[in-house]
Amino acid sequence: MARPFATLLKRPASSGKLGALLLGVWLLAAAPWAWGAGHVALVLSEEGGAYAEVADKIRMALTQKTQPAPRFSLLSLEAFGEKLRAPASLDADVVVAIGSAAAQAAATNPRVPVLSVLVPKAAFERVAAARGRADPARFSAVYLDQPIARQLQLVRAVLPGRLRLGVLASAQSGTALAQLRTATRDGRFKLAVEKIDRQEEIVPALNRLLHDNDVLFSFPDPLIYNRYTVQDILLTTYRYRVPVIGFSPSYVKAGALAAVYSTPAQIGQQVAEILYPLLQDPGRGLPAPQFPKYFSVSVNYQVARSLGIEIEDEAALHGQLGPQVEP
């Protein structure tokens, strides 16, 4: 039995041979189904990691559901770029662009429907506007972000009674911040925002923000939350004894109190469910862009104990956030 593609794709390869190697590995492993109904091209922004895990789950879910199964092509950005220069060679029924770089590249080709995944909502909307891709039936997405309402449900579940949310924001936070403002208009939460333009402003902004707020509510703003800033942010919030609601399991592991997020396998399952009816009837088009359907909850119980916070187990919290279950 072939090993999972997520493992196979992590083998080192020279950059010049990467596209050919990835495609060869994919077609070899998929040989029993190679001439099924429909052709799905999966374009990876980077080799391996979460990108390969999503692609692996899409292939497995679709081959289990459809007989005969679709034909799959796995393409690096380099290999995909070559096909864009010779459009006739791109015979796929749908392109799944995995990651922001892949979404940008795929947006240049209006001939094939494109479903972008592992891309933040704000980034997808910028690409769609820049490339004039206004028709969701031809250019759609499963966002990387969680819906704000789900994140607020998590706050209520792990920190009942803590209603004052502090938020750091930059120009890159525009879409998420607007959604948060809309979601908190009912008055159930009080929102305080500190805007910054440079990373050097983060700690001074936190010092102003954390005096009068119960929670630091975060969302994926790459200027603010990145590997260079995470330690300063978490140390500052811990000094004020203010918990952080994060947006990834790695952030929780580093010291955030809790986060709701979707795994690559969960995203891949949702993508497969979207592709199945499209492959049965290509004329129906893609659905509108959407947030993740499946999700997980992660809690740092060591941080909770140090802050004197009692929290239910992760399974119980998951049940409070909606009816969805992990695939």
User: How many Å apart are CA 156 and CA 267, to the nearest integer?
Assistant: 25
Domain edges within the chain: 5-145+264-284, 148-261+295-320
Q: How far apart are CA 126 and CA 292, in angstroms?
A: 19
Task: Give residue 186's Cα distance to chain centre.
Answer: 28
By the 8 A CB rule, do 41 and 75 touch? yes
Mean pLDDT of the chain: 85
Q: Sheet containing 71-76: give its strands across.
A: 71-76, 39-44, 94-98, 114-119, 139-143
Predicted confidence band at 87 (pLDDT cuts at 50, 70, 90)? low
- For domain 148-261+295-320, which CATH number applies: 3.40.50.2300, 3.40.50.300, 3.40.50.150, 2.40.70.10? 3.40.50.2300
3-class SS of residue 42: strand
Over 90: is that where the pLDDT of 109 sits? no
* Within this chain, domains 5-145+264-284 and 148-261+295-320 share the same CATH topology: yes
d(CA 117, CA 142) in angstroms, rounded, equals 5
Looking at CATH, the fold of the domain delimited by 5-145+264-284 is given as: Rossmann fold (3.40.50)
- DSSP-assigned states of every residue in 52-111: HHHHHHHHHHHHHH-SSPPEEEEEEHHHHHHHHHSGGG---SEEEEESHHHHHHHTT-TT
Quick: pLDDT tens for 157-179: 999 988 899 999 998 888 889 99
The 3-state secondary structure of 155-193 reads HHHHCCCCCEEEEEECHHHHHHHHHHHHHCCCCCCEEEE
pLDDT in tens, 229-288: 999 999 999 999 999 999 999 999 999 999 999 999 999 999 999 999 988 887 889 999
Sign of CA dihedral 137, 139, 144, 148: negative
Residue with the bigger pLDDT between 83 and 221: it is: 221
174-210 pLDDT, tens digit per residue, is 888 999 999 998 878 999 999 999 999 999 999 999 9
C-alpha–C-alpha distance, residues 164 and 314, integer Å = 23
Give the separation between CA 69 and CA 32, rounded to whole angstroms: 9
Q: Return the number of other C-beta atoms located less than 10 Å from residue 269's C-beta.
A: 21
